[in-house]
Structure 1
Amino acid sequence: MREKKSILELTTTTCEDYRRRRKRSLILLCDNVRSLHNVGSFFRTCDAFLVEEIVLCGITGTPPHGEISKTALGAERSVAWRYAEDALSEAERLRGAGYELLVLEQAHDSISLGDFRVRPDGRYVLVVGNEVDGVSQGIVDIADSVLEIRQHGIKHSLNVSVSAGIALWSLSEQLSADADI
């Protein structure tokens, strides 16, 4: 019979130890995400995949907030984050600092997430957008790549925190192949 891991076996590190660990060269930029539940989910996902930092922009909620903590389960304390008022300005700044700008959005020239390959020495910013309007057009316009999660059902989109989780997992799996993480 298979035995599930206990909660003690799953608790592998302290918050302080986690903060000292080397992170992947991957940042999540949130462009005007309105749901605090989604923000909490971003923190938990970024904690799981050793994402360098989360940048919360515009109307996106920030810790400390009970609704974020309820979903993040403490990851809002382990994952580095900061607030930037304007997502486009922050995207331009990060791009100028040598990060490749990856926008998760449905566009006519998007690349299937499954077909996208990272460079081993690459530094990446994944941009996710508002639950209704998506990523701001100005950011789409300056993106190095627009990535799309191909879907086959009658709905045209996934929840932004689900999409971010899929994309962060895909990117982090590729980045970890060449990193000692």
Structure 2
Amino acid sequence: MRPAPGQVLHFSEDPTITRFEPHVARTARQPDAYVWAVDHDRAPDYWFPRQCPRALVWTGPRASAEDRAWLGAERVHVIEYGWLERLRTARLYAYRFDAAAFRPFGDPPNAHVATVPVEPLGDAEPVGDLLALHEEAGIELRLTTDLWPFWRRATTGTLGFSGIRLRNAAPDPAAP
């Protein structure tokens, strides 16, 4: 499930939203109100239940040979075993928007935001089997009992990475 050219997507477990209002998320790091969406490249970051903690790691032009060998794939998503059943049974929906109402957010951009209310181009679309989406996209999905060792290693090298909902992960045994 990816947006068509000229579109961005918003993923949700709620298929009944008809209008998206800018708001400041409870976990926001910025004070401005936005409607959040993602483009083609970042859509796989959201092929998960909303609250699922995940480490997303990929190779890029700056990735060293050592980091590429450690990762063992072009792109890897890692979740805890405790989230597998929820991943398998989640009913996720995608809302399509005209990208013209949004602007890139982040440096480099990792999302798109609108500062005005927006309405989807149509009804929410069922995303389908989240495991199958990963497989079809060639994204390796890994399971672990402890997300933190992988996260620490991924974030200290030359790989691209993103962590989403990490506050919902099992406690880091190495944390003070």
**TM-score, length-normalised on structure 2?**
0.29
Which has more helix, going by share of residues? 1
Which has more strand, going by share of residues? 2
Greater RCO, 1 or 2 (C-alpha within 8 Å, sep 6+): 2
**TM-score, length-normalised on structure 1?**
0.28
